Amino acid sequence: MRALPDAQRTIAELKELRSFTADENGAQRVAFTRKWVETRAWLRRKLDALPVEIHTDAAGNLWATLHGESDKELIIGGHMDSVPNGGWLDGCLNVLAGLEILRRIHSQYADKPPVTVRLVDWADEEGARFGKSLFGSSACSGNLDLNEARGLVDRDGIHLPEALREVGIDFERVKESGQELKHAAAYLELHIEQGPVLLDLDLPLGAVLGTFGVERHAITFHGQAAHSGSTPMNRRKDAFLAAAKMSPEIYRIAERSHGGVCTIGSCTTKPGIVTSVVEECRITLDQRHLDGPALAKMFQEAKSASETFAREGNVQVSWERLWQIDPRPFHDELIAMCDEAIRETCGKSHRLPSGPLHDAAEVARAGVPAVMMFVQSLHGISHNKIEDTREEHLELCVRAFDKLAEMTMRWIKAKG
C-alpha cells in the first residue's frame, strides 16, 4: 500500500524555519551568509534522520541521496536561500516538500526505492548579493560564464570568488559539480507561483510549461532640441513623441502574440528641461514569451513599429540589445504527469508558463527532462514579506507533488 506524506509536518517545518531565519521584515537567508549556513545545518539535521548520503558539491549545492534499485535518479530541487526581506515559502517550500517526499519514499520502500531519489538544495538561486541568479544550478548545468562571474562584486567590494572561499568553495572548480547530473533521469521542482494567474482562476495548483524567453533592448529616438515657445508644432523633431507611440503599440503586440508580455520599464529624455522639445529619448523594452518564434516575431514587430514612428516624426531610431535568453520548455510527458497528479489531488489543473527563471530551467538546459508545479500565491506577490499561500493549498501541493514523484519514479523505471 502506498504511504502518504505528512503535509502538516512540512507546514510545521516551514514555520520552524521562519522562526529562526526571519525578522519583522521577512526572510533573511541570503546565500553565503551566516544565516544561510545556519539554515543548511538545520536542514542537514533533518536529513540525518534518514539513511541518505549527504554531501556538498563543488559549487556549494547540497545533495541528499537515497539509493534505489536503479542508479537512475529522480532529482527533487529547491533553494534555501532567500532575497533580503524575502517571503517564507519561495525556495524552501520546494526543499521541505522534497524532504517529506524522501521520508515517504523511505517508509514505503524501506531502503530500496525503485530508482535512486535525490534532494538538492541549490546554492544562491536568488543572486541577491552578486546580482546573478541561478549560481549553483548554472554551474552544475555547465552554463555559468566563469569570466563574467569571476568579476562580480557585492556592495562591500567583495568579489564572488572571495565570498565563496569563505564558505569553503573553490570558484575555479565550481563546474565540476556537473558530474552530479550524470545519472539524472528526471527533475521535479515545486514553487510558489510568484504571480496572480492561479489566484485569478481560483485554482490551488498548476503544471508549468517552461520558463519564458526574454528579449531586452534599449531603444533610443534621436530628434532635435528646439525652443518650446518659438518652434511651431509642424516643425518639430520630437524624440519623445515617437517613443510615446511605442507605449500603446506594445500592448497591441503582446495581445497579438497570444501569451507574451511586453514592458517599457524606463524612459529618459534629453535635454530633459521644461522649455525644450526632446532631442533624445531612451526607453527600455522587455519582451517575454514561452515560444521562441513568437518571441522573435514580437521583437520584429516592435522594431518595425519604432521605425514607422521615427519616420512619421522625422526622427532617427537605434536599438541596443541589453540581454537575451531563449525559452526553456519543460518535458511534455512530465508536464502531462504533473497535470494528472494535480487533477487527482484537487480535481482541476491548469497549465501555465513561468515568467521568472528557476533552477529547473538550468537543469532542463542540461538535457534532463524537467517539470515544475506551481502553488497559488495569495496576493500574487513574492520577494516580499507578505508572500503567502493558504495552508490548505500548502497541504494540497505536498500531496500532489508527492504523487508526481511516485509517477515519475515509475516513468523512469519503465523507460529502463
DSSP per position, 81-107: ---TTB-SSTTHHHHHHHHHHHHHHHH
- Do residues 219 and 306 touch, judged by C-beta distance below 8 A? yes
Question: Which of these ranges, 88-96, 325-333, 347-355, 393-401, lies near Zn ion under the rule CB under 5 A?
Answer: 88-96
Smallest distance, Zn ion to C-beta of residue 362, A: 13
Smallest distance, Zn ion to C-beta of residue 126, A: 7
Q: Name the residue with the smallest CB distance to Zn ion.
A: 91
C-alpha cell at position 153: 562584486
Beta carbons within 8 Å of 412's beta carbon, 6+ residues apart: 70, 72, 74, 114, 115, 185, 186
Smallest distance, Zn ion to C-beta of residue 134, A: 10
Smallest distance, Zn ion to C-beta of residue 383, A: 9
Question: Which of these ranges, 89-97, 290-298, 392-400, 403-411, lies near Zn ion under the rule CB under 5 A?
Answer: 89-97
* Identity of the residue, 90 or 238, whose beta carbon is nearer to Zn ion in the bound complex: 90
Smallest distance, Zn ion to C-beta of residue 91, A: 4
Decide: is 68 part of the binding site for Zn ion (CB under 5 A).
no
* Identity of the residue, 338 or 372, whose beta carbon is nearer to Zn ion in the bound complex: 372
**375 closest CA partner among 192, 211, 197, 199:** 192
* Identity of the residue, 294 or 363, whose beta carbon is nearer to Zn ion in the bound complex: 363
Smallest distance, Zn ion to C-beta of residue 375, A: 12
Question: Which of these ranges, 17-25, 54-62, 85-93, 256-264, lies near Zn ion under the rule CB under 5 A?
Answer: 85-93
Decide: is 90 part of the binding site for Zn ion (CB under 5 A).
yes
Q: Given the C-alpha cell 548545468, which residue does it identify?
A: 141
DSSP per position, 292-332: HHHHHHHHHHHHHHHHHHHHHTT-EEEEEEEEEE--EE--H
Binding residues for Zn ion restricted to 385-404, rule: CB under 5 A: none
Among 87, 91, 206, 327, binds Zn ion (CB under 5 A): 91
Question: What is the C-alpha radius of gyration for the chain, rounded to an integer number of angstroms?
Answer: 24
- Do residues 362 and 403 touch, judged by C-beta distance below 8 A? no
DSSP per position, 22-61: EETTEE---TTSHHHHHHHHHHHHHHTTSS-EEEE-TTS-
Question: Which of these ranges, 22-30, 90-98, 198-206, 345-353, lies near Zn ion under the rule CB under 5 A?
Answer: 90-98
> Measured between alpha carbons, how far apart are the two ends of the chain, in Å?
23
Smallest distance, Zn ion to C-beta of residue 350, A: 20
Residues that bind Zn ion (CB under 5 A): 90-91
